[in-house]
A and B are shown apart, each in its own frame.
Chain A
Amino acid sequence: SAVISQKPSRDICQRGTSLTIQCQVDSQVTMMFWYRQQPGQSLTLIATANQGSEATYESGFVIDKFPISRPNLTFSTLTVSNMSPEDSSIYLCSVGSPNTEAFFGQGTRLTVV
Chain B
Amino acid sequence: GENVEQHPSTLSVQEGDSAVIKCTYSDSASNYFPWYKQELGKGPQLIIDIRSNVGEKKDQRIAVTLNKTAKHFSLHITETQPEDSAVYFCAARATGGGNKLTFGTGTQLKVEL
Taking beta carbons and an 8 Å cutoff, which residues of A are in contact with B? Answer: 1, 4, 6, 31, 33, 41-45, 48, 56, 92, 94, 96-99, 101-107, 109
A97, closest chain B residue (CB): B99
A43 touches B89 (CB 8 A): yes
The size class of the interface chain B forms with chain A is: 20 to 34
Query: Does any Cβ of A come within 8 Å of B73's Cβ?
Result: no
**Contact sample, A vs B, 13 pairs, CB 8 Å cutoff:** A43-B103, A45-B100, A56-B98, A92-B43, A96-B99, A97-B99, A98-B95, A99-B95, A101-B46, A103-B46, A104-B46, A106-B43, A107-B43
Considering only CB atoms, which chain A residue lies closest to B36 in the complex?
A104
In the A-B complex, the 9 residue pairs with the closest CB atoms? A104-B43, A106-B43, A107-B43, A43-B103, A42-B103, A104-B44, A42-B105, A42-B106, A105-B43
Interface residues of B in 71-113 (CB under 8 A from A): 89, 93, 95, 98-106
In the complex, are the beta carbons of B100 and A48 less than 8 A apart? yes
Q: By the criterion CB–CB under 8 Å, are B46 and A102 in contact? A: yes
Q: Given the complex, which residues of B lie within 8 Å of A1, measured CB to CB?
A: 46
Q: Is B61 an interface residue (CB 8 A)?
A: no
Interfacial residues, chain B to chain A (CB-CB below 8 A): 32, 34, 36, 41-46, 49, 89, 93, 95, 98-106
Tell me, rounded to whole Å, the shortest Cβ–Cβ distance linking A105 to chain B. 5
Report the Cα distance A82→B42, complex, angstroms: 26
Task: State in angstroms the CA–CA spacing of A33 and B41 once bound together.
Answer: 20
Known A-B contacts A96-B99, A98-B99; the reply to A43 vs B34 at CB < 8 A is no
Q: Are A102 and B106 neighbours in the complex by a CB distance under 8 Å?
A: no
Partner of B44, one of A92, A99, A109: A92
Given contacts A42-B104, A94-B101, A99-B32, 15 further A-B contacts (CB under 8 A): A6-B43, A33-B100, A41-B106, A42-B103, A43-B103, A45-B100, A45-B102, A92-B43, A92-B44, A102-B34, A104-B44, A104-B45, A104-B46, A106-B43, A109-B41
